[in-house]
Amino acid sequence: MHIGHITTDYLPITGGAEAYVNDLINILQPAEQMIYQLDTGIVANNIRPVWHLPEGIRRRPIDVWLYGLFLMRYIKELKHQDALIVHYGLYYPLLSWHSKSVVVSHGVEWIVPPNTISHCIRRWAAKKAFKSAYRLVANDSDFYRQMGLNIAPGELLFQEVAPGRWFIPNCVDTNIFKPTVIMPELKSIKAILLPRNIHPRRGIHLAIRALPRMLQVHPELKLVVAGQFVDHAYRVEIAHIIDELKLHDSIIFLGSIPRQDMPSLYSSALLTVVPSILGEGTSLAALESMACGTPTISTSIGGLADLPTEKCLLDERSLAEVVVDVLQRRDEVAKCQKEIVRQHFSISNWRNAWRRVLGLD
Query: Residue 97's domain is classified under what CATH number?
Result: 3.40.50.2000
Decide if 86 contacts 6 (C-beta within 8 A).
yes
220: Cβ contacts below 8 Å, ≥ 6 apart: 189, 190
pTM, 2 dp: 0.91
Range of the domain at 133: 2-171+346-357
178 in a domain, yes or no? no
Predicted pLDDT at 181: 82
The SS3 call for residue 120 is: helix
200 and 336 fall within a common domain: yes
Claim to verify: residue 155 and residue 15 sit in the same structural domain: yes
**In Å, what is the CA distance from 179 to each residue of 25, 232, 297?**
26, 35, 18
Q: What is the CA radius of gyration of the chain?
A: 20
Helix (H, G, I), strand (E, B) or coil at 222: strand
229 in any annotated domain: yes
Number of H helices, E strands in the chain: 14, 14
Quick count: other Cβ atoms within 10 Å of Cβ 97? 10
Cα–Cα distance measured from residue 250 to residue 145, given in angstroms and rounded to the nearest whole number: 39
The answer on 337 and 351 residing in a single domain is: no
DSSP state of 304: G
Whether residues 40 and 159 fall in one domain: yes
DSSP one-letter code for 292: T
- The end-to-end CA distance of the chain, in Å, is 12
Q: How many domains does the chain have?
A: 2
Query: What residues of the chain score a pLDDT lower than 50?
Result: none
Assess whether 21 and 103 both reside in one domain: yes
pLDDT the model gives residue 217:
96
User: Are residues 143 and 191 both part of a single domain?
Assistant: no
Q: In terms of DSSP bridges, do strands 32-38 and 47-50 run parallel, antiparallel, or are they unpaired?
A: parallel
* 251 in Cβ contact with 217 (< 8 Å): no
> Tell me, what DSSP letter sits at residue 246?
T
Does residue 57 sit in the same domain as residue 160? Answer: yes
Are 85 and 12 found together in one domain? yes
Give me the count of residues in the chain.
361
Can you tell me the distance from the alpha carbon of 317 to that of 231, in angstroms, rounded to the nearest whole number? 26
Q: Are 137 and 168 in contact (CB under 8 A)?
A: yes
DSSP helix/strand/coil, 238: helix
Q: Are residues 163 and 246 in the same domain?
A: no
Q: 91 in a domain, yes or no?
A: yes
